Amino acid sequence: MRAAADLGAFLTKDEAKRIGGSLDLGHGLLHQAVKSIHADRRERVLELLDAALAALAGDVRALSAVLSALSGVPRAARPQLVWTSPSLPHSEGRTTLAASQLINEAQSYVYAATYSATMGSSYVAALREAVARGVAVTLVVDQARQAKTATQLAGKLAGARIWTMSPPGVGEYAVQHSKIVMIDGLAALVTSANFSSAAAETNLECGVLLRDAALATSIKTHLDQLHENQFLVDYSA
């Protein structure tokens, strides 16, 4: 059934579980069931649920069974291209504002990395809001060439862990140049875009949004291991 397949491709395993539980408690009311979903995704989830329910001839029990199956099956959604570029007809992709939208979805933790940033960008605002709502934020910054930006980010994100690369040896040179956002071990955006306003609005940038738990978790594991082995160290102004 195409509607169920579309629903399964979009929902995370945890979202399917929460919606199924809410659906049972809400006596089949979809608008109640989707309240557990982040606002940025809620409208699309409701559309997909409506389509799946219609395909099931309005059988809420059948929809609950579909959600139960989805919550128990590890899945990787199709990768999405994420661009900053002029809008073109029939072109695929979302803007790099997907980074801040992804941060807004986080419920437990965020791992992010950037080379440079604009303090008033939507990305930095999303990270501040995440810290404020109790999400554990770890941000990897560059101190070799972007010391001023690193200091500003550390000031803006009080309560976050700020990591940077260990200073290279004499005569050596290295910068932190990765651009990543990963949330809750569920999804990750890997992109050319920094956390700047230009990256979201005017540059030509491209990235890939992956809702793949194994890949997302591997990003956290790798960064944690780099920190444990002192290749990444706690930021100090």
Residues 124 and 205 in one domain: yes
Instruction: State how far the Cα of 202 lies from the Cα of 196, in Å rounded to an integer.
Output: 10
Instruction: Return the pLDDT at 40.
Output: 81
pLDDT by position in tens, the chain (length 237): 577 788 888 888 888 888 888 877 765 578 888 888 888 888 888 999 999 888 888 888 888 888 888 887 655 567 888 888 776 665 555 566 788 889 999 989 999 999 999 999 989 999 999 999 999 999 999 999 999 999 999 999 999 999 999 988 777 889 999 999 999 998 999 999 999 888 888 889 999 999 888 899 999 999 999 999 999 999 987
Residues 87 and 204 in one domain: yes
> Which of 51, 72, 93 delimits the end of a domain?
72
Q: How far is CA 44 from CA 28, 40, 128, 130, in A?
A: 18, 9, 26, 22
What is the domain count for the chain?
2
What is the domain-level CATH number for residue 219? 3.30.870.10
> Which of 43, 72, 101 delimits the end of a domain?
72
Residues 149 and 200 in one domain: yes
Residues 65 and 85 in one domain: no
Instruction: Return the pLDDT at 71.
Output: 82
> Which of 17, 46, 72 delimits the end of a domain?
72
Sheet holding 109-113, edge to edge: 80-84, 205-210, 187-191, 180-183, 109-113, 136-141, 161-165, 232-234
Greatest C-alpha distance within the chain? 70
Residues 27 and 105 in one domain: no
Residues 105 and 190 in one domain: yes
> Is the separation of the CB atoms in 142 and 180 below 8 Å?
no
Residues 96 and 212 in one domain: yes
Residues in the chain: 237
Residues 143 and 39 in one domain: no
Residues 48 and 91 in one domain: no
Residues 162 and 194 in one domain: yes
99 has which bridge partners?
none
Residues 147 and 58 in one domain: no
From the DSSP assignment, how many helices (H) and strands (E) are in the chain? 10, 8
Instruction: Return the pLDDT at 92.
Output: 52
Burial letters 219-237, b for 16+ CB under 10 A, else e? bbeebeebbeeeebeebee
Q: How far is CA 95 from CA 3, 145, 178, 207, 230, in A?
A: 26, 27, 18, 9, 35
The pTM (predicted TM-score) of the whole model is 0.69
Residues 67 and 96 in one domain: no
Helix residue ranges per DSSP H, the chain:
2-10, 13-25, 30-33, 39-55, 60-72, 98-105, 122-132, 147-156, 197-201, 213-228
Instruction: Return the pLDDT at 165.
Output: 96
Show the domain range for 206.
80-234
